Copies of this chain bind each other. A is one copy, B any other.
Amino acid sequence: MKGLNYQELLKKYDLKATPQRVIFLNELEKNGHLSIEELEEKIKKIIPSVSTATIYKNINAMVEKGLLSEVKLPNSKNRYEITKDSHAHFICEKCSKVEDLYIDDECLKNNIDKNIVINDIDIVIKGICEECSKKEL
């Protein structure tokens, strides 16, 4: 997972590579899916002087350019991830952990009877993760 070149990634999306942004992306890559609050907390541990406004401005700029994707989950604040191939999300209803799930959604398309053009499918699976299942026993 390590090894994204943030300088290049930012340049590719027409954004200047500031230290704040590099740390921003690094935290996001390390942690997967973070809320604004979590992201801010993590970034401030590294550069305590970053302002909240900068966090917001960067999230908005990166989402707008397409570098980040907003992940909307039930009973949870919006989270953000570095944009990657279309994939589903799993959220554990016990520990709130979020995981990427690469599952084939072609089969869904077959049983839609409406005459629509499908561009993308967002899937969120709610359930209990392996660790939490074990704890329940």
A: which residues have CB within 8 A of B? 70, 72-74, 88, 90, 92-93, 99, 101, 103-105, 107-108, 111-112, 114-130, 133
Structural contact, A121 and B120, CB atoms closer than 8 A = no
How often does this chain occur in the complex, in copies?
2
Q: Do A117 and B133 have beta carbons less than 8 Å apart?
A: yes
CB distance B130 to A126 under 8 Å? no
State whether B122 touches A74 (Cβ < 8 A). Answer: yes
Evaluate contact between B127 and A116: CB separation under 8 angstroms. yes
Which residues of B have CB within 8 Å of A114? 90, 99, 101, 130
Is the CB–CB distance between B123 and A123 below 8 Å?
A: yes
A103 contact from B73, B111, B120, B130, Cβ within 8 A = B111
Pairs of residues from A and B, 3 with the lowest C-beta to C-beta distance, nearest first: A107-B107, A72-B72, A117-B128
Which residue of B is nearest A76, CB measured?
A: B72
Docked Cα-Cα span, A105 to B121, in Å, equals 12
